[in-house]
Amino acid sequence: MPTVEETATRRRFEEYLNPILGPAYGTALRLVRSRDEAEDIVQDAVLQAFKAFGQYREGTNFKAWFFQIMINRFRYIYRKRKREPDTTCLDDAPDLYLYIQCANSGLMERSADPAAAVIGKMSENQIEAAMSALPPEFQIVAALYFIDEMSYEEISEVVGCPIGTVRSRLHRGRKLLQKSLWMVAQEYGVVSALTAESSAEKAGAV
């Protein structure tokens, strides 16, 4: 039977944990794209965090502390599988890659923001597929920043690197994500559908 102190510790841990379980699962799901694997990662992280709860410093950012444990678990699984993702080339991806591709495809006349039009036609699964094509370190930083809305300081704490490195990965990750989004949009026929719609609108206007 647990002691009074052990019961109090568990309750305090649960008070910290419960508000962030949903966001943690969402992040894990976007990283692995499998509900079962995401649940396993979060459950493993919960067990590890509880075991290490005595090391948590009261008053510091519990969410960042827990996410660090969860991200380390994701990295471990990634390395264990030696997975080689299909990634796009960073060197030839300018800052406005998605915008440029839309212009080259003739989508500029249809919308003032053709890049947003393309993304707006993509499903959540397609956008997640584009994000999952990023190398893991860019994928992690992008998920924490865009999905979990963490600050540079929080991300730095979670991934264990300087804030300058976080900024650099986000900048390069944005470029890579634009290219990945365009490739997925082409693969699933989003671009061709928008191009066909644009052509039909032109024909109707004549």
Q: Which CATH architecture has domain 4-81?
A: Orthogonal Bundle (1.10)
Query: What is the pLDDT, as a whole number, of residue 159?
Result: 93
33: left (phi over 0), alpha (psi -120 to 50) or beta: left
State the chain's mean pLDDT as an integer.
Answer: 85
User: 123-154 pLDDT, tens per residue?
Assistant: 988 888 888 888 888 989 988 998 888 999 99
The stretch 83-100 carries a mean pLDDT of 62
94: left (phi over 0), alpha (psi -120 to 50) or beta: beta
CA distance 164 to 152: 9
User: 153-162 pLDDT, tens per residue?
Assistant: 999 999 999 9
Query: What is the pLDDT, as a whole number, of residue 92?
Result: 56
CA distance 80 to 3: 38
User: 105-117 pLDDT, tens per residue?
Assistant: 877 766 677 788 8
Q: Which CATH architecture has domain 97-205?
A: Orthogonal Bundle (1.10)
User: 42-87 pLDDT, tens per residue?
Assistant: 999 999 999 999 999 988 999 999 999 999 999 888 777 655 444 4
* pLDDT-derived band at 90, boundaries 50, 70, 90: very low
Query: What is the pLDDT, as a whole number, of residue 82?
Result: 57
Q: Where along the chain do the CATH 1.10.10.10 domains lie?
A: 97-205
Q: Where along the chain do the CATH 1.10.1740.10 domains lie?
A: 4-81
27, 150 in Cβ contact below 8 A? no
- Residues with Cβ < 8 Å from 17, sequence gap 6 or more? 46, 49, 62, 66
